[in-house]
Homo-oligomer: A and B are copies of this chain.
Amino acid sequence: MYHHVKQLMYTVRVGTPDPRFGNMLLEQFGGANGELAAAMQYSVQGLNCDDPDRKDLLMDIGTEELSHLEIVGTLARLHLRPLKNNRDAAIADPMMAIAGGGGVNLYNSMGDPWTADYLKITGELDVDLRSNIAAEARAKIVYERLINFCEDADSIDALKFLMTREITHMKAFTAALESMGKPQFSIGAIPPTPGLVSQYFNDSTGVGDRGEVDVRGPWNQGGDWEFVEAPAFQELQSEIMGTREPSEDGGSERRTPPASTQKTGPKKRTA
């Protein structure tokens, strides 16, 4: 059950309305990484959650995001109010001006309607927490960009409040995930295929127009990484060059192993 108190969680003031900035603010009202998306993602995850502890967490933060939605909406409303009567201002967001009379609605800065397609909800708690950590990181950077484009000191205060809370949530979700005690790369119940899981496929090669090159880093060397050079390329090369080596169990075998044998994925590069 929800209850609303009329006071905002953070009182907003606006000196000079800035319709262009109000339009940008809609990214956090009805946009992909905005407050409604956050509120709905966590609240619906909470509704589905069978872990009583983290369910409480999801409902706490889901509810806080509703209060944030109200803050952002109020702030945007103040900046967009001139759209109703001022045609120059209306250009900042014709839909909010003509269809909305200068009020806000759940659309982003380009007029896209908020859609549940923004949500990442899987019903697998640790996976959902990872999605939430990423969502908070995205929301944080979006608030930072809004602050950078904002010329109104009071608006900046409110945005800093909201931005800070995203980090709070990121920390809480991270603690909730870590306290589950699952190994870092263990998702669900079916284990990945050993060997194959450690192969890094070098699918993009060559030198780019701006000097881009192939790179080795901790994401493809060291540990148990096995580096597989251009899986698609190995065979094509021999084909075109006319030097394809005969092999009883060559290219096609590696990709269509008998069900009973080990699957190893593409050939590794024999250094």
Contacts and interface: CB of A to CB of B under 8 A. Distances in A.
Contacts of A239: 205-207
Interface string A149-174: 10001100100110111111011111
Interface in A212-242: 212-215, 217-220, 229-233, 235-237, 239-241
Contacts of A199: 168
A82 to B, nearest CB: 13
Interface centre among A12, A118, A146 (most CB of B within 10 A): A118
A203 B94 contact: no
The 3 lowest CB-CB distance pairs between A and B, nearest first, are: A110-B111, A101-B123, A48-B103
Contacts of A266: 9
Contacts of A3: 2-5, 63, 203-205, 230-233, 236
A123 B94 contact: no
Interface string A106-125: 11111111111111111110
Interface in A237-271: 237, 239-241, 251-252, 255-257, 259, 263, 265-266
A112 B99 CA distance: 13
Contact of A203 (B8, B63, B112): B63
A203 B7 contact: no
A259 B159 CA distance: 13
Interface string A177-209: 011000011011110110011111111111111
Contacts of A147: 190
Nearest to A59: B204
Interface centre among A103, A107, A233, A263 (most CB of B within 10 A): A103
Interface centre among A8, A98, A117, A154 (most CB of B within 10 A): A98
Interface string A1-45: 111111111111100000010011001001111001000100111
A48 B104 contact: yes
Interface string A65-98: 0110010011001000000110100110111011
Nearest to A52: B212
A215 B57 CA distance: 8
Contacts of A99: 27, 31-33, 108-109, 122, 142
Given A7-B252, A98-B142, A110-B112, 12 more contacts: A2-B63, A7-B232, A36-B40, A54-B217, A99-B122, A105-B116, A112-B117, A115-B115, A117-B117, A144-B190, A157-B257, A237-B237
